[in-house]
A and B are shown apart, each in its own frame.
Chain A
Amino acid sequence: MIKVDHLTVNFGPSVAVRDVSFSVAQGESFGLVGESGSGKSTILRTVMGLNPDWSGSIKIDGQDTKSTSRTDLARRVQMVFQDPYASLHPRYVIGHAIAEPMRINKMPNPEKRTLELLDLIGLGGQFRFRFPHELSGGQRQRVAIARALALNPKILLLDEPTSALDVSIQAEILNLLNQLRKELNLTFVIVSHDLAVISYMCDRLMVMRNAEAVETLSRSQLRSRDIAQSYTRELIAAS
């Protein structure tokens, strides 16, 4: 589904991601772990086209993202941002926020689908005309997920989806995401600094450090501590 080859991202003179390659299969959940500043979120933003200065190749569904139009890309991949307090427009009711991607892409029946999506994420239609400031962090993140799902993408990129949330809410959101992945047959790429989240959510994971990939592990390797790199061991010991 996603194939990233020799990706290098520059922010001016500094290198945020250096020569990183990985691929994610259809229906898989792939994790990116590393301390802050290791370049994991940058990879997601680059896949979505939010960073202009990169080299290498990113293929989604076999199509190069450089030659794919924005709207075409939007129907394949969507992203959920880290901070649910910053990712919803404060002036619009959430029903509007969820319906807007559908209106932009001229999809039929945005109103009806908004209600379906609200039910899907467990909020219900009565939340439709609430403003973001009337919702809790967990509820906002649910809305952000619903907005990301509005265009029926096959791939969801999740940038630290729970790190801004209370511990008690984190499990709720993660369970919701797992349930959605099963129901809608989604492919996930999850970025987190929290190994517990990654090992709960992901089939495979890649450890990153200082803009470079350290190693790629499967969940069973992680559980059985079958680890090659010392940095990964440190990371596990620390969590």
Chain B
Amino acid sequence: MSVIADPIIDPKRALRAARIAEFKSFARRFMRNPLGMVGLVIVIALLVCAALAPILATHDPYLPALSDRLAAPGAEYWFGADELGRDIYSRIIYGSRLTLLIVALVIVTSAPVGLVIGAIAGNYGGWVDRIFMRITDVFLAIPKLLLALAFVAALGPGIVNAALAITLTAWPPYARLARAEALIVRNSDYVNAIRLAGASDFHIIVYHIMPMCLSSVIVRMTFDMAGIILTAAGLGFIGLGAQPPLPEWGAMISTGRKFIFDQWWVATVPGFAIFIVSLGFNLLGDAMRDLLDPHLRQRR
């Protein structure tokens, strides 16, 4: 049994206890969703792979062993070896780092930009809203992959440029989402109450509107991660993302394509990695939406 902190004597601990209690009830509801748990396990496994890559890998992912070119899966090479005799299993493990790096770069740049633009547009309404939303529309009107391709072609291939290119196309949905929430929240009584207390627009947007947009944004973010992985792999596949010898999954499929009929594992294994990780993020997103979406959640 935990000791309940006295909120008058020890306010900091009591506040933390209140937050932990909130989180526990969230975790309990999350655990009731078995598919969501599968997604969470996959995502955690990906994080573990990335963090412990040097320990988990059995070979050096970059060191060629020409005598073992295109070796079949077996005891030495668990998932086989590629056209330079590099262990595919080790490359997949190291590749998880690149995948996570791209996802993190895109999310860190696109979600906050979209959130801020959407919250500002929704809060002020009127011509501010119109200008911001028309800019958003312009970016939404251009096909995602096409804009990313053009951007990478202009800046040169590479992981960071690929991430930037995806960001350019990834922020508008967040702006839309945040604006929709902000439009609802800005007229609510609790925002009115704090406006009557003399709060500035900045204070209202940052402390009252944004926290309410956050749950939709987090849900969208989780779903988006699957899409980002696919786009990044797509860019890698056509040679505009990560460059060889980096073990990026899309680039690995691309090299394996030449051997797909005789040595199926070279292209199939990275394909499976992409498939499983995308599935994991989608399942996690589904579960998060069930819990966080303000339109699905019933009043507690």
Pair A70/B198 contact, Cβ less than 8 Å:
yes
A82, A85, A89: most-surrounded residue (chain B CB, <10 A): A89
6 closest residue pairs by CB, A with B: A101-B197, A71-B198, A87-B189, A129-B18, A74-B198, A81-B189
A221 interface contact, C-beta 8 A: no
Task: Check: A58 CB closer than 8 A to any chain B CB.
Answer: no
Question: Which residues of B, 165-212, contact A by the 8 Å Cβ criterion?
Answer: 188-190, 192-200, 203, 208, 211-212
Q: Does A167 contact B (CB under 8 A)?
A: no
Interface residues on A, range: 35 or more
Given A130-B18, A133-B300: A105 in contact with B193 (beta carbons within 8 A): no
**Which residue from chain B places its CB closest to the CB of A150 in the assembled complex?**
B197
* Chain A residues with CB below 8 A from B14, complex form: 128-129
Q: A111-B11, A128-B7, A129-B14 given as contacts; is B189 within 8 A of A100 (CB)?
A: no
Complex CA–CA separation, A97 to B193 (angstroms): 10
Tell me whether chain B's interface is mostly helix, strand or loop, or mixed.
Answer: helix
The 8 A CB mask of A82-105 against B (1 = contact, 0 = none) is 110111111101010100110011
Contacts of B188 in A (CB 8 A): 86
What number of residue pairs across chains A and B have CB atoms under 8 A from each other?
84
Chain A residue at minimum C-beta to C-beta distance from B185? A89
Instruction: Decide if A74 touches B196 in the complex (CB within 8 Å).
Output: yes
Chain A residues with Cβ below 8 Å from B6 are 126
A119 to chain B, nearest CB (A): 10
Task: For A79, give the chain B residue with the smallest CB separation.
Answer: B196
User: Closest Cβ of chain A: how far from B194's Cβ, in Å?
Assistant: 6
The answer on a CB contact under 8 Å between A105 and B18 is no
Name A91's contact: one of B15, B189, B212 (CB within 8 Å): B212
Question: CB distance B198 to A50 under 8 Å?
Answer: no
Query: With a CB–CB cut-off of 8 A, which chain A residues contact B197?
Result: 74, 78, 100-101, 104-105, 147, 150-151
Report yes or no: A78 in contact with B196, Cβ–Cβ below 8 A. yes
Q: Which residues of B contact A74 (CB under 8 A)?
A: 196-198
Residue from A78, A82, A129, A144 with most neighbouring chain B CB atoms (10 Å): A129
Question: Which chain B residues lie closer than 8 Å to A78 at the CB level?
Answer: 196-197
Minimum Cβ distance to chain B for residue A84 (Å): 9
| Cβ A86 vs Cβ B189 within 8 A | yes
A85 to B196, CA, bound (A): 18
**Residue contact B18 to A93, C-beta cutoff 8 Å:** yes
Asked whether A131 is an interface residue with its Cβ less than 8 Å from the other chain, the reply is: yes
Which residues from chain B contact A83 at a C-beta distance below 8 Å? 189
Question: What's the minimum C-beta distance from A73 to chain B, rounded to whole angstroms?
Answer: 8
